[in-house]
Amino acid sequence: MTDSIDQSKNVSVSEEDLENKSKGELIKLAGQLRDRRNDLNQMASERASKRDDLNAKTREKVDEAQEHREKRDELNEKVQEHKESRNELNAEANELFEEVEQKKEELELNEGKSVDQLEEEIEDLEFKQQTEVLDSEEEQELIEKIENKREQLAERKEKLEQTDDVDELKAEAQEIRSEASQHHQKVTELADEAQEHHNQMIEAYREADEIRDEADEMHEKFVEAQEAADQHHEDFVRVQKRLRELDKKEEEEERSRREEEKEAAREEAEEIYQQFKDGETLDTEDLMKLQKTGLL
């Protein structure tokens, strides 16, 4: 883990220190523990703030990814709608084209020669009749061919006159197919747009994962600093408790010393008082000792 705590700056205290160090040394140690605890608490606070900022950025990226997901799903729904419309229209167009082919078959429009072909053949035969020298039998045969072609041409034209409804069906089918193509174009456009939102969603989730990893690492650093701060606080409390014990001990020793001094003074005063009763002369200091103990 980078930016770890500088362990050399940490302060520790053992039971032996508590028992053997002087009061002055313990006061100094308590100050060091307090200062290091405060530094570590500040470090933990800064790391917690950075962690919270990173977690906020993670949530922002997740929200961004969710927005792209919703937009993608919305577009995919539209893609499906256009697909259904396209397929329905293509099916309808196919039925009409099949109907057109069926009518053509019924009129035999797909069989035989076209009007242009027949007219060209008649023209060729007539040109041959006009330009070549033929005997009567050959000319009669040629005339019959021309008549036959003219009959085929008339029949073909008559059939074509009946194709108006076929052309209308074909035009309707082509119009429906064109509408289906427009839906297909929308399918392509919307699918591309949905894919773009999908890609952006994946990227946002990837960035969120990276930031979350940073936040988790920063949380570990926060815990490290906070635990170190807590340990220094516990040690500070231990030293403070030991100092209070020493203060209490000093107070008890001071009270005991005063009581001993008071008892010694009382005993001395009683001796002086006895001397006074025995008629001895007392100096000023002896009189003050008697007054101080209340014997005079």
On whether the CB atoms of residues 40 and 222 are closer than 8 A, the answer is no
Per-residue pLDDT at 279: 74
Token readout for 88 is 């329905």
Q: pLDDT tens for residues 153-201?
A: 777 776 666 666 777 888 999 999 999 999 999 999 999 999 999 999 9
Q: How confident is the model at residue 126 (pLDDT cuts 50, 70, 90)?
A: confident
Q: How confident is the model at residue 43 (pLDDT cuts 50, 70, 90)?
A: very high
First-to-last C-alpha distance (Å) of the chain: 80
Per-residue pLDDT at 160: 64
4 SS3 class: coil
Top CATH class of 33-107+167-245 equals mainly alpha
d(CA 185, CA 7): 67
Convert 238-288 into a string of H (helix), E (strand) and C (coil).
HHHHHHHHHHHHHHHHHHHHHHHHHHHHHHHHHHHHHHHHCCCCCCHHHHH
Question: Among 156-160, 256-260, 277-281, whose mean pLDDT is lowest?
Answer: 156-160
CA atoms within 13 A on the CB side of 23: 8
| Residue boundaries of the structural domains of the chain | 33-107+167-245, 112-161
On whether the CB atoms of residues 79 and 194 are closer than 8 A, the answer is yes
Q: pLDDT tens for residues 133-142?
A: 878 888 888 8
Per-residue pLDDT at 1: 43
Which is more confidently placed, 155 or 26? 26
Per-residue pLDDT at 25: 95
